[in-house]
Amino acid sequence: MRSEERTIGADDVAAQVRTARKEALGVALATSAYGISFGALAVASGFDVWQTCVLSLLMFTGGSQFAFVGVIGAGGLAAAPAAIASALLLGVRNVAYGMRMSPVIGRGALRRAAAAPFTIDESTAVSLAQASPRARTVGFWVTGLGIYAGWNLTTLLGALVGDVLGDPKTYGLDAAAAAAFLALLWPRLRRRQAIAVGIAAAAVATVLTPVLIPGLPVLVAALVAIIVGWFNWLGRKDAPVGEVPA
């Protein structure tokens, strides 16, 4: 038992592990439900059921998946390079999560390679919210594995439902991918800098959309975030907007 766990006692550690497991399962159930939306939207964007399921099995990054199918849906296969680049840009944050979670996952190339696919927003958040090392480890693995299993099952369900619906334009689903991605983005706009980046990037993308092929305006708009982050504009002495105290 680690020194931190010795000081709080075995009973307390066991209680923390149970709490971590419950929180992880709750987050996994809630997050997995969004897989239905992704499955339906992917089919609405032109993917078939098996392609949609493969995306969830291999990519497994919600925001990147929504971006990918949205760009492909707008521009077809010609927009594939831009779609891949957009998905990669959104997935870069997982690299930072991997570095932060390294002490929790532990040493060993095989262990870290196994943990890499499950190092996502939710598994990182649940793990770091726990008080003891063992609870953090349990929180990470239960959340990551739970969401992976649930997300893929609900993706299949959503794809089957979307396939039955037929023409997405009949139900307005041709615009649903953008709406779903906006729903994922909205909760992150809590600081003045993030709000400014969102508005500026949207303006750039709107101006460039009529003159560039689908997907490229998103990549150009991403430069706004890079420039703002590089110079840290509006980032100093910036208080959270509407943030709920812990």
CA angle 213, 90, 126 (to 5 degrees): 155
d(Cα 203, Cα 182) in Å, to the nearest integer? 15
Average pLDDT value for the chain:
79
Task: Judge if pTM exceeds 0.85.
Answer: no
Q: What is the pLDDT of residue 127?
A: 93
Other beta carbons within 10 Å of 184: 16
Query: Helix, strand, or coil here: 48?
Result: coil
d(Cα 160, Cα 50) in Å, to the nearest integer? 10
Maximum average pLDDT range among 120-124, 171-175, 186-190: 120-124
Q: What is the pLDDT of residue 7?
A: 56
- Where do we find the tokens 């794809």? 159
Check residues 171 and 231 and name the one with the higher pLDDT. 231
Which pLDDT band holds residue 161 (cuts at 50, 70, 90)?
confident
Which pLDDT band holds residue 245 (cuts at 50, 70, 90)?
very low
Classify residue 172 as left (phi > 0), alpha (psi -120 to 50) or beta: left
Q: What is the pLDDT of residue 23?
A: 92
> Is residue 92 a contact partner of residue 86, using CB atoms and an 8 Å limit?
no
- Sorted by sequence, the CB contacts under 8 Å of residue 79 that are 6+ apart come out as 71, 72, 213, 214, 215
d(Cα 230, Cα 88) in Å, to the nearest integer? 19
Q: Express each pLDDT in 186-214 by its tens digit.
A: 666 677 877 888 788 888 878 887 887 66
Q: Express each pLDDT in 5-40 by its tens digit.
A: 555 566 688 889 999 999 999 999 988 888 888 898
- Write the burial class of residue 13 (CB in 10 Å: 0-12 exposed, 13-18 middle, 19+ buried): buried
